[in-house]
A = this chain, B = another copy of it.
Amino acid sequence: MKLTSGVEQATCIIVLLATQDSRSPLASDHISARLDVSPSYLKKIMRKLVVKGLVISVPGNNGGFSLAKSPEQITGLEIIEAMEGEISIFSDNGLLTKAFEDGIHASQGVEVLNNIFKGANDVLKDYFSKFTVADLLKKSMSLSELPSLDWNNTSLKDFLKKEMKENADD
């Protein structure tokens, strides 16, 4: 229940690239020196960001990395998923079905639990997709611009309701 330290590093990299307003790409060694982290490991992280499409790499002399999008278009969720893959906090080994083997409570409990964690995933995705790198760069942020405070959004609520509705039909 902890996201890897690579996420922190990746975030810093993106921020650093965003604050460098020069259009020339930044070499990975330059970045690692700036952040005072291992050059080798940083390259590994850079690669993940490239694969995810957040930054672009320029090979050859005077090469380096640049942002692939504007800071407004890079969400926290993208950074996290670039490093860790899709968010899926619950490791389901189907163990719960055995706990319910007595049959009294059928598989309803399993469904409920799965929905709960599925919901947790969506909560996190929703949350992190709301803030962008640009939010971090604003010098003074007004309250209305605060990331992810739209608690009245109903997408998740509807999703769960639908799920449960189907179960209720049994």
Contact between chains at B5 and A3 (CB < 8 Å): no
Complex Cα distance, B5 from A148, in Å, reads 29
Interface residues on A, range: 35 or more
Given A116-B148, A141-B164, verify A8-B123 contact (CB < 8 Å).
no
Contact between chains at A148 and B168 (CB < 8 Å): no
Complex Cα distance, B124 from A128, in Å, reads 12
A136 close to chain B: CB less than 8 A: yes
Contact between chains at A89 and B1 (CB < 8 Å): yes
Instruction: Give, as a whole number of angstroms, the nearest-CB distance from A106 to chain B.
Output: 7
- When all copies of this chain in the complex are counted, the total is 2
Complex Cα distance, B120 from A113, in Å, reads 21
Contact between chains at B108 and A138 (CB < 8 Å): yes
* Contact residues in B for A168 (Cβ distance below 8 Å): 140-143
Q: Which listed residue, B7, B101, B106, B139, touches A106 by the CB 8 Å rule?
A: B139
The 28 listed contacts between A and B (C-beta, < 8 Å) are: A1-B1, A1-B3, A1-B4, A2-B90, A3-B89, A3-B90, A5-B93, A7-B91, A8-B90, A8-B91, A8-B92, A15-B96, A15-B100, A19-B104, A34-B101, A108-B139, A119-B148, A120-B124, A123-B124, A124-B124, A143-B164, A143-B165, A149-B157, A151-B151, A151-B152, A151-B153, A151-B154, A152-B152
